[in-house]
Amino acid sequence: MENAFTLSEQIIPQKIFLLIKSIKGEPSDFTNFSNACRKAVAEDMKKVKDDYFTKPNGEKKELAKCQNTNVNITYDEAHVDHRQPRSFPEIVDRFIELNDIDIKFVEYETIKQYGHIFKDSKISDLFRDYHKKRALLRVVLKDENLKRSHLARVNAQKKDITVTA
């Protein structure tokens, strides 16, 4: 019976993952590219947060001010936010455009359940450099960041007009 319990523990999370994947579908090329870009700057973002919670003398702060609400927050309650109008998706989109990248053909390496990184490390390096120049960051309460995340998503609509020749 112990083996059956262990087996069900392994199967159930996998079935839940597959169910969610079947509902949501495969991620778009932009989502895969964007996720790899997030991985490329993850250490930089952690450093921003670490530095914000460090006093000038090197001691760690237990609390720091949310740069959006001025409420004291702990390290675990904090997120590093990309300030508008330079949202993370906007930075990624502009990077793709400036570098003339066809994201359908970008290759990734998968790191277990943690997602994709770029197979070509040059893309990671280029994006990190671009992100450092373009990102306007602030440390905010996690809930403040997450409730605004949908604002950066702009999808084309039928009524949109484009410039033609």
Task: Encode pLDDT of 119-164 as tens digits.
Answer: 999 999 999 999 999 999 999 998 877 766 555 555 566 665 656 6
Task: Encode pLDDT of 9-61 as tens digits.
Answer: 555 555 555 555 556 678 889 999 999 999 999 999 999 999 999 999 999 99
pLDDT range class, residue 8, cuts 50, 70, 90: very low
Instruction: State the pTM of this model.
Output: 0.74
The answer to whether the beta carbons of residues 48 and 80 sit under 8 Å apart is yes
Mean pLDDT, residues 76-82 taken together: 94
* pLDDT given for residue 144 in this prediction: 73
Can you tell me the distance from the alpha carbon of 41 to that of 34, in angstroms, rounded to the nearest whole number?
A: 11
* pLDDT given for residue 75 in this prediction: 97
Distances from the Cα of 14 to the Cαs of 7, 17, 20, 28, 39, in angstroms? 11, 5, 10, 21, 24
